[in-house]
Amino acid sequence: MIPSNHPAAAPDRPEGSLSDGTRVVHAGLPEPVVGEPFLPGPVFAAPYHLDPATGPGENGYGRTEHPTRRALEAAIGQLEGAPTLVFASGQAAITALLLSVLRPGDTVALPSDGYFTVRAFAEGTLRDLGVTSLQVPTAGPYPDFSGVRLVLLETPANPGLDVCDIQAVAAAAHAAGALVAVDNTTPTPLGQNPLVLGADIVVASGTKALTGHSDVLLGYVSTADDALFDRIETWRKQTGGVPGAFDCWLAHRSIATLDLRLARQTSNAGAIAALLSQRPDVTGVRWPGLESDPAYEVASKQMRRIPGIVSFDLGSADRVARFLAAAALVFAATSFGGVHTTADRRAQWGDDTAPGFVRLSCGIEDTADLVADLTAALDQA
């Protein structure tokens, strides 16, 4: 497991800059005003008053301009390191990226072991639009990218947790003239910074660990490419896939605790991965923080912290059901990254995984309690 003093566990930041815990608390906040709250409440408005002579000022119509949404975009943009657009969900963000960039005759390279809905979208809608998709395992080997318009990476991959070398893949893709996007959902911007590693675009679901309370649907795209940003923003204006004001406010509020939540989730994941690795009745344990994990070498160089997701196999759907019924602290639920520990048997959703494959998302419960509960549940199962 990567120790706290390992280079991959320490923020890679310039001398004198703020630490992650401080950055998330202050991200996107306005300048202090006497009598005003630290984080202004959500603005519930669709139209705004216009100047009769000159028309709209900063705000004209909620679908195209919104102050609560801008504050959230500023916060995420500060963490990812580039201007950001937020969307109604992670899938909405990925859809906006793909349909803004790709044209008939283009080819897109996608992770064959990444989020299955993206592959389904590529094999359905994109194919119908004349776009060819090339599926590549996250851990490689990677093909020659000649003729590819966009390379979309997801690392660590969901749900198998393989990792790819973003810097190396980005260099190869750029040499072939392709754009590179990285799905940063699982690690969050506190886990890795794809733009620093050479990616052109970051896309993510903010529903997961970024907001972390299982009460918001959110997605975002970040890029320092002005032309690409404008294209995606225009696409959003014309299609309307924006999040609501209250969702934006909840998300912004939740980001303040991201550093604290990730620290406990990572600690819990390390303890659980170690527990599962020692049990003969559990197979296929994956967590990139384990020194025995195939992804450890790349993850330890590339990632600033390892996410709180562990995957493993209990052999059958029936045994997974017995395990979840016996566990007192593990909720059966899809999604991941929340403050409650959850487990998801991915095959039930049509994902290409074994019947007994489990994606466990560690919450922020006390580590000893969680380990004891999992041990008892596995014994009963």
| Domain match, 243 and 301 both | no
pLDDT < 70 regions, the chain: 1-16
Q: How many domains does the chain have?
A: 2
- Give the CATH number, domain containing residue 282: 3.90.1150.10
Q: Is 375 helix (H, G, I), strand (E, B) or coil?
A: helix
Domain of residue 271 covers: 258-380
Q: d(Cα 14, Cα 222) in Å, to the nearest integer?
A: 21
Q: d(Cα 63, Cα 71) in Å, to the nearest integer?
A: 15
Q: Which residues contact 285 (CB under 8 A, 6 or more apart)?
A: 273, 276, 277, 310, 311, 312
Is residue 42 in some structural domain? yes
Is residue 7 in some structural domain? no
Output the pLDDT for position 240: 96
Output the pLDDT for position 170: 98
Which of 64, 30, 34, 22 has the alpha carbon at shortest distance from 47? 64
Condensed to tens digits (0 to 9), the pLDDT of residues 100-112 reads 999 999 999 999 9
Mean of the per-residue pLDDT values for the chain? 94
Output the pLDDT for position 16: 55
Is residue 113 in some structural domain? yes
| Domain match, 168 and 62 both | yes
| Domain match, 247 and 262 both | no
Note the pTM of the prediction, 2 decimals.
0.94
Condensed to tens digits (0 to 9), the pLDDT of residues 167-207 reads 999 999 999 999 999 999 999 999 999 999 999 999 999 99
Question: Which of 208, 235, 255 finishes a domain?
Answer: 255
Tokens for 340? 């409650």
| Domain match, 238 and 295 both | no
Task: Give yes or no for a contact between 72 and 251, defined as CB atoms under 8 angstroms apart.
Answer: yes
Q: Which residues contact 192 (CB under 8 A, 6 or more apart)?
A: 155, 166, 184, 302, 303, 304
Question: Which of 217, 235, 255 finishes a domain?
Answer: 255
DSSP 3-state helix, strand, coil percentages of the chain (rounded to 5)? 35, 15, 50
Could you list the beta-strand ranges (E) of 130-282: 132-136, 150-154, 179-183, 201-205, 219-223
Output the pLDDT for position 373: 98
* 156 preceded by a cis bond (ω within 30 of 0): yes
- Give the CATH number, domain containing residue 235: 3.40.640.10
Is residue 126 in some structural domain? yes
| Domain match, 234 and 271 both | no
